[in-house]
Amino acid sequence: MENDSDELAVFKARKAADKFHSLVWYCFISAYAWSVMRDQTWLPWFLGGEGELANGFTNMPFTPID
């Protein structure tokens, strides 16, 4: 019985470490993506930009994207 609880503790610790790694990765990549996109003319104000979403569809399908 005690062995089962040890295995369960190890399983939960590994799962928590995996989820924490995912959290750190997604926070980092989201911040990086926002820093790349923030100066675009198509990023709306509610996402931190100064443009409009409709600007992303001008001159389709040849819209210049950084």
pLDDT at residue 44 in the model = 86
C-alpha distances in Å from residue 5, one per residue of 12, 16, 30: 10, 16, 37
Asked whether the whole model's pTM tops 0.75, one would answer: no
Q: Is residue 58 a contact partner of residue 50, using CB atoms and an 8 Å limit? A: no
| CA 1 to chain CA centroid, nearest Å | 41
Mean pLDDT of 3-14: 88
pLDDT in tens, 9-48: 999 999 999 999 999 999 999 999 988 888 888 888 888 8
Q: Give CA–CA dist 57/54, Å, rounded.
A: 6
The single residue listed with the structure tokens 């790694």 is: 21
